[in-house]
Amino acid sequence: MSGHLLRVSGLVAGYREPVTAPVSFTLKRGEILGIAGPNGAGKSTLLKALWGGVRVFAGAVEKAPGLSISHQAQGFDDLRGVPLSGRELLRLTGAPPDGLPPWVQERLDRRLDRLSGGQFQFLRLWACLAAPADLILLDEPSNNLDTAGVAYLADWLGRAHGDQGIVIVSHDAALMAQVCTRILHVDAVEVAA
């Protein structure tokens, strides 16, 4: 792998049928790769293929030996009635609370179902970002974040993370332009009539 965390070659992924057009790229430590494209182009599916969450129809995903992955998916699980606090979530993922913004730090002992959507989203992000992992996969990380949350996320991502690689799927073009070392544009698969 010669220093690469990932080497993706002609990857076509999907569910019952392919959703992505063939994609190829490499990712080294310290790089932040943005994946951009229209709705339906398979960006989230591509991200899932990197950790083995969907079917690979063609091509390959070659991972560095012993690669550890932290993945933040879109959407929220329904946590009503689950007595889990923010501090417990971080403990489960191995993410330290150090570095959290004060508006989340002061709510760590609250149950997750008592946080606002933005507070919960940032805590989920932090559990992924600060977990001990070589590769971080983020799917629409700025969803549900207010301006301060997006700014804090951009600042964190903008700092050097020399030992990690990060792949971000997002429609937030400003965030991608600010933090990504490069951006891969993907197109929707043409469906035969």
Count of residues in the chain: 193
Contacts made by residues 80-85, CB under 8 angstroms, sequence distance 24+: 80/113, 81/113, 82/111, 82/112, 82/113, 83/111, 84/111, 84/112, 85/109, 85/110, 85/111, 85/112
Radius of gyration of the chain from its Cα atoms, rounded to whole angstroms: 17
Over residues 111-168, the pLDDT tens digits come to 998 988 889 889 999 999 999 999 999 999 998 899 999 999 999 998 866 789 999 9
Domains of the chain: 4-185 (3.40.50.300)
pTM, two decimals, is: 0.91
List 4's β-bridge partners, or say none. Answer: 28
Torsion of CA 188, 175, 5, 20, to 10 degrees: -10
Ranges assigned E (strand) in 15-97: 23-28, 32-36, 55-63, 69-72
What CA–CA distance (Å, rounded) separates 16 from 8?
21
Q: Which of 17, 57, 45 is nearest to 186 (CA)?
A: 45
Per-residue confidence at 193, pLDDT binned at 50, 70, 90? Answer: very low
Q: At what angle do helices 147-158 and 117-129 cross, to 10 degrees?
A: 10
Q: Which two tokens stand for residue 72?
A: 């933040």
Over residues 94-127, the pLDDT tens digits come to 999 999 999 999 999 999 989 888 898 899 999 9
pLDDT score at 3: 75
Which phi and psi angles does 174 have, rounded to 5°?
-65, -45
The residue with tokens 């959407």 is 75
